[in-house]
A and B are shown apart, each in its own frame.
Chain A
């Protein structure tokens, strides 16, 4: 049976924790807003980019022999590079374990097929987890997810991937990121970065309003040169999108986790207060019994 003092201390402690989780919840909420705005701001660029690229691809299509190397799937896939996004910081519920789990499963599947996997980590949590498990990590980018970052991060990360692919170090590049479905739902998604799969499919519903005109575009330089310029950018755009979504998901998931924690604290304070009051009452009753007993004994 806990003494009064102990219960009192415990209540104080839990209340302090509650204050912290509440504050973290609010910080996450404001960061989430920023991240969402950034996602919103990126949409016009992504949509337009997809539009232009798909129309170019349409025109360049048909010429299977001279297709750019970034588009051609390898006949035999022996090595795969996987970009795993995760957060740098914890206390965000199952966010990181979902992403890590996704990769773990993927890695096991591919290992069964005898494919070598190399990992590029964006985010500290994923890196720490797999470094302990001796997975070969060939690249890491920390301090990106959940923080302020610009498009150059995606370019830097993407350039390395493209070089690796073109030099034949790897035959495929996949990206695992957390898709921001809604405030309460973030799903880990695996997406192929290289070779670039059918360009039209790679985009989620690009604006298809007025694509009729594009067939008559004059291209300067040639269609092939434009493609060569745009394809790497397609990779950067995808990575950037993944980063934005992952960041937003991280904040949403931390917000939810901290909201839960705050609720749990509240419940705990309530039940502890009940226990405290009970113990206090029991003490009073015991004291009264003593007094009454003592008085009886004196009388007798």
Chain B
């Protein structure tokens, strides 16, 4: 089936993306999945990772998503994330600072205190993903 699928990325602070896409590739809990128009409806949790899509003009866009959910309908994909940034909005300095913080914390915390360890680990993952997205092919958004 030809045509574009509607993509919406919403966070508690703002609607990050709301536009038509030719294809959407999202980081699902059980692996990346691609969505074209006419996809079976489904619901899944997302990992921290990058959401890629081609906008109606065919340009590739990348968005950082901090976990959350995706609801896929035949004509629409809705991503509910606690936070999300388009690549051009990623603050590299902040991400690098966060990375450093997370690394320091990981060095301090022993594995026994698993709650803090988990948190630092997640923070680290977020920072690494942000930086990875930010650095990949800079200039495009």
Residues of A within 8 A of B (CB): 38, 41-42, 44-46, 48-49, 52, 56, 150-151, 155, 213-214, 216-221, 225-226, 229-230, 237, 240
Contacts and interface: CB of A to CB of B under 8 A. Distances in A.
B13 A216 contact: no
Provide the main secondary structure of the chain A interface.
helix
A225 B45 CA distance: 9
Interface stretch (B49-57, B75-83, B125-133): B75-83
Most chain B CB neighbours (cut-off 10 Å) among A49, A150, A217, A226: A217
Contacts of A46: 12
B45 A221 contact: yes
B19 interface: no
Contacts of A52: 43, 69, 71, 80
Contact of A150 (B10, B13, B45, B69): B13
Contact of A219 (B15, B42, B78, B80): B42
Contact of A151 (B41, B71, B82): B82
A230 B69 contact: yes
Given A41-B14, A151-B13, A216 B43 contact: no
Interface of B: 10-15, 28-30, 40-45, 69, 71, 73, 78, 80, 82-83
A218 B70 CA distance: 12
A45 B42 CA distance: 18
Given A52-B80, A213-B41, A220-B42, A45 B11 contact: yes
5 closest A-B pairs by CB? A218-B42, A220-B44, A151-B12, A45-B10, A41-B14
Contact of A214 (B10, B11, B41, B80): B41
Contact of B13 (A38, A56, A221, A237): A38
A61 to B, nearest CB: 16
Contact of B80 (A48, A155, A221, A240): A48
Given A48-B80, A151-B83, A218 B14 contact: no
B13 A226 contact: no
15 contacts: A41-B13, A42-B12, A45-B10, A48-B80, A52-B43, A150-B12, A151-B12, A151-B82, A216-B41, A217-B71, A218-B43, A219-B43, A220-B42, A220-B43, A226-B44
Given A218-B43, A220-B29, A220-B43, A213 B73 contact: yes
Nearest to B44: A220
A226 B43 contact: yes
B28 A220 contact: yes
B39 to A, nearest CB: 10
B13 A218 contact: no
Contacts of B69: 52, 226, 229-230
Given A41-B13, A45-B12, A230-B69, A217 B41 contact: yes
A154 B82 CA distance: 11
Given A213-B73, A220-B42, 4 more contacts: A45-B12, A150-B13, A217-B42, A220-B45
Nearest to A214: B41
B87 to A, nearest CB: 21
A75 B71 CA distance: 35
